[in-house]
Amino acid sequence: MVATAATASLFPVSSPQPDSGAKNSGNHKGGLGSVDLRGIKSKSTSSNGLQVKTNAQAPTKVNGTRVGVMDGLKNDDNSSSGAPRTFINQLPDWSMLLAAITTIFLAAEKQWMMLDWKTKRPDMLADLDPLGLGRIVEDGFVFRQNFSIRSYEIGADRTASVETLMNHLQETALNHVKNAGLLGDGFGSTPEMSKRNLFWVVTKMQVLVDRYPTWGDVVQVDTWVAASGKNGMRRDWLIRDCKTGEILTRASSNWVMMNKVTRRLSKIPDEVRAEIEQYFVDIPPVVDDDNRKLPKLDENTADHVRNGLTPKWSDLDVNQHVNNVKYVGWILESAPKHVVEDYELASITLEYRRECMKDSVLQSLTSLLAGGEMADSDGVDCQHLLRLEGGGEIVKGRTKWRPKNAQQIQPHQSLPY
């Protein structure tokens, strides 16, 4: 009876008509009569078997009049009632929502394909370091990073300064060490160098500038390392125009290790060599070594002298000495005014002699070579010395200047900010 009650609660059967009951009363034999449960009819046969057939009638209404599940009960007379109600028919109409979602996805895919094929700005290309974080290329031997020339990095000629380019060189060198997984707790030091209180110091830097980038340009900087003697390392750079691939600047440098505590030069330990030599490439430097001897330069032979130069706190790096790029600005402090205004720096060679600390007071000396005070059409060569006022040499240098392009912006013209 419990089963009968449960079945009746799920499938309520309407009472048969009197005439229908009389028609089938003689054929029951204690079995089920002719009952249609949602399209399923059962009839008793002479062999007391049960014959089952399906009636696949679709509901006549989905929206509008609600169609119940139990409204489709029929008897043998096929008396008409409402279309059968199903669970699916009672759900909301999801077709509109699915159509909207599909439309959104198709539109997004179309926009993505348009972005993928149309011409993009060089600094936004995915394969050209869009975020400017840099990456290692050329089978792990070259580090590449992009830089956009900012408005505060250009001078009166509307071109980037040589200090800006050298800052890019230094940044890529440090990021190369970091991306190679060799950055310890020092400024560009490997883990084994950090254990021994060692850090890198530059002894010589040569930079050749074929063309200076301008405001808004995007440059691509490549850098790699090579062995330099038994206890040194050489690092080279190429700066290209990211849009055209034109080489703008070439630079080469030599580095040695210094002990942070004793402030003395150190040999490369075997453990450190094992860390770094796997990244060395066996190719010649991109700049030929300028090993010409320069004449002695002092206050008596210098054409221009600038005294009283002192480093600011912002000029120091994490190794507590003046950043090597800062020396370039101090050297140019004593360059003749007419050279700076009428010529542009084509190349610079710097030989670093000793550290400059935060309490140092410096003197900048410059002497003109090859042409004297009136330079020829090929350019001007200058000799430089940056030293302590007590006489100790900090940096010796040589610069070559070429006439400025007549098409470049004149000092009195304003930038379209």
Selected catalytic residue, list 242, 321, 323, 324: 321
356 as an active site residue: the answer is: yes
| Residue 242 bears catalytic tag | no
Q: Which residues pair with residue 51 across a beta bridge? A: 43
Asked if residue 302 lies in contact with residue 366, where contact means CB atoms within 8 angstroms, the answer is yes
The distance from CA 17 to its chain's CA centroid, rounded to whole angstroms, is 82
Residue listed under structure tokens 């700005």: 121
319 is catalytic: yes
Query: What is the side-by-side order of every strand in the sheet holding 35-37?
Result: 35-37, 40-44, 50-54
- Cα separation, 151 vs 190, in Å, equals 34
Strand, coil or helix: 263: coil
Q: Let me know how long the chain is.
A: 417
The SS3 assignment for 212 reads coil
| 8 A C-beta contact, residue 299 and residue 365 | yes
Going by C-alpha positions, the residue among 81, 235, 248 that lies closest to residue 173 is: 235
The encoded tokens of residue 269 equal: 């330990």
Give, in degrees to the nearest 5, the angle at Cα 45 between 43 and 50. Answer: 55
DSSP helix/strand/coil, 292: coil
Helix residue ranges, H only, 69-196: 95-117, 162-179, 191-195
The dihedral sign for the CA sequence 94, 96, 99, 103: negative
Q: If you compute the radius of gyration of the chain from its CA atoms, what whole number of angstroms results?
A: 43
Among 75, 146, 175, 319, the one annotated catalytic: 319
Burial (CB count <10 Å: 0-12, 13-18, 19+), residue 14: exposed
Q: Which residues are catalytic?
A: 319, 321, 356
